[in-house]
Structure 1
């Protein structure tokens, strides 16, 4: 099968238009059209339905586009590995993690990484959906459970627990609960039990809501919960790592907490030699070591 025709087919399928594909490939519309017709003839199949608004893949076209997409991802991976053979750390690194961890823990620390590697280009993808690393939807992932996909290098980085926090201002105005039953006099801020979140967090939310609560405010991510807590709206259920950057927050009902939530860093086996991933991995490890030391000092001060 002609590789050049496949490249042109992929561009047309991706753009949905002969004209737009031609602009991307620096080819005329007629040249692109001829190549597509030749490919269809060689396969004895119609790859596109022609419509006034553009082109739509046929069932056979969808099968071929899936194959060319896989080829494109593999070529991108090969190009990344070739670039990573250089001594310098540069280029794009696609990192995926949850909205909460990405906004509250990772993003505030990235200036230090950019200071080390100013030519790095990080594409931070924050979503609860688990992206497919072997299919190159992302280069590296930080996940709140051990990845189950094959052919991944994975490392447990830290552990998180969900706890209840409030500002001193809110507690001065409303008092401090001494038991879960006291929540009947307070506003609880948390994710909805139906929101996508780690199972340990959802379990604790259900437990808290099984007690009488005066008022609730639910948000679909922890960044929103934190903003509501910082603005003195109530007592919020948050990951315990927020206290390093928001030291004024008070841990309410310290004995109430979720089960331990492991945090894993993972990336495809084929990117084992990637200098960009190694730089990012080592940076995250250094930040976690610093975080652990800070937590240890804080715990010692509390016990003292």
Structure 2
């Protein structure tokens, strides 16, 4: 409903409220968050047009939204021009803006440019915060070795910051991608001791990896933890666990997976989730575990 939003912005003054950068930022930020694919591409055009036509003076938040729109559109180069404009207008370039740009260049496969900006950020007195370090760790987890991620965690701690769940998720992910599942499970088990709390991504990614590695006992433990914390992984991950347990004749454990879900989330088990419940329910006619496994494998 962009046209309605634009009309409201135009009418704010007549409604008895001042038209400020706050309203301007709200409109542009909504475009960045829109599910419509081309919405972020409208931000630069509206930024220029509205600020001029409505005499709105953009602030550092406005420019942060503009930089993010370029990132979402995959135009990190254009975002560099925004930094230059901010410097000319003597508007503070925040750590958030630098982090957005660093993230952009990493995702565009240009780590050298990302590192150059990181050094520029530090040189200009913008102290990297934990989200900034996590962006860096994300790249190292995807492209590097577990030791690279561990070195980054030490950098975080040396900066007086505390790694969080996102940080350790990247370490777990890096261990998994290198086939080092025991180390991944160790980080997971020690997460709460380190001050983190497993989130949905922790459970989903580790569960899927352990199942693909045919460590169904480890996967079942992760799944049980997720249910206890009301953060059940996605259907695909649970289905991998269920199929693995069934094919390895661990029918009772497979049934416990579905019954546990049904007990914990009775209102949410619908659609494809119901199909899994139906499979474990075929025992009503007295069929034994072998028949249940055979029926599942044939599906």
- Common topology (TM > 0.5): no
Whichever structure has more strand as a proportion of its residues is 1
Whichever structure has more helix as a proportion of its residues is 2
Give TM-score, length-normalised by structure 2: 0.25
Instruction: Pick 1 or 2: higher relative contact order, CA cutoff 8 A, min separation 6.
Output: 1
